[in-house]
Amino acid sequence: MILVTGATGEFGKHAVQQLIAKGVNTSDISVLSRSLEKANNYKADGITVKIGDYSNYDSLVKAFEGVDKLLFVSSSEIEDRAAQHQNVVKAAKATGVKHIVYTSFMRNQERDDSAIAFLQDSHLKTENWIKESGMTYTFLQNATYMDMLPMFIGEQVMETGVIMQPAQNGKSSLVLRQELAEAAAVVLTSDGHENKEYPLVNNQAITYNEVAETIAQISGKDITYQSPSPEDYQATLKTYGVPDEYIGIFTAFSVAQANGELEMSDNSLEKLLGRKPTTAKEFLTKIYA
């Protein structure tokens, strides 16, 4: 039995679809959800829905019974993530889960002053807990979702003609979330992935200046890129009423990109997919053509 956590989120939905596309019977798939209502569509497809919450250890123990392989989709609740993930690992160990496929985050360098340390630290702790548990594992060290690029660019870019991020000339090895989920399904349905760590990145990394040039070519409009200081960037977002939480996340990712933390070269994703991943320019063409 394969259990997919975070099944009502976009990654989880894509992963389930890919498992079915690769020939896994729906009777051999179960999903974890905090709400039965949100997961009702799975029941209609013959997939077992299990109710559980990362913050509730007992619910996880009950949900993980009979599970052989666990696709552990990392929590989106950053402040509580470490405690939640510890619950998941302990419950998986207690119920005899044989193999965990964990969605971690790429690490191309160790930086004490990393702008995204708040993200990296919980992933590193989780990887260590899984290793210490004695269960076999596969760590999918995912790059930033390419799907987030329009959000970073800004919804009004076609009107303003400006992309503003404090990323300087740094590049990001963005990958489509759907392709990362497909890679997870490949790992779950094939052999030879025990105790492996796969950096899943796009070798065609891109700068925001290249993003601006691409959108300009596609749309025929003048689009420019500006890289203010992080402080000026944050002050500008505040004037537009952007919530502090989002300002912090946007700034952290851009500063990490400026520092070279989001660019990496590795062919693991291409090997798992059996093809080159979608490039940012291909993605932008679909969005802005």
Give the pLDDT confidence of 122-132 residue by residue, as tens digits. Answer: 999 999 999 99
Taking the model in full, what pTM does it have? Answer: 0.94
| Beta strands per DSSP E along the chain | 2-4, 29-33, 48-51, 69-72, 99-105, 136-142, 162-164, 196-200, 224-226
57 contacts 92 by C-beta, under 8 angstroms:
no
Region 7-34: what's the mean pLDDT? 94
**pLDDT higher than threshold 80 for residue 62:** yes
CB atoms < 10 A from the CB of 278, how many? Answer: 18
Of the chain, the percentage scoring pLDDT greater than 70 comes to 99
Give me the pLDDT at residue 111, please: 65
Amino acid at 265: S
CA–CA gap between residue 159 and residue 155 (Å, rounded): 9
Closest CA to 107 of 122, 96, 120: 120
Do you know the residue count of the chain? 289
Give the model confidence (pLDDT) of 204-262 as tens digits: 999 999 999 999 999 999 999 999 999 999 999 999 899 998 899 999 999 999 999 99
Tokens matching residue 282? 């291909």
CA angle 148, 154, 159 (to 5 degrees): 145
Q: Do 60 and 33 form a contact (C-beta atoms < 8 A)? A: no
82 pLDDT more than 70: yes
Please report the sign of the dihedral spanned by the C-alpha atoms of residue 234, residue 236, residue 241, residue 242.
negative
Please tell me the distance from the alpha carbon of residue 262 to that of residue 259, in angstroms, as a whole number: 8
Query: Domain locations in the chain?
Result: 2-144+175-202+264-277
Q: What stretch of H or E contains 219?
A: helix 208-219
Q: For 48, list phi and psi in degrees, rounded to 5.
A: -75, 130
| Fold designation for 2-144+175-202+264-277 | Rossmann fold (3.40.50)
262, 173 in Cβ contact below 8 A? yes
- Give CA–CA dist 88/93, Å, rounded: 9
- By the 10 Å C-beta count (0-12 exposed, 13-18 middle, 19+ buried), 14 is classed as buried
What is the phi/psi pair of residue 164, to 5°?
-125, 115
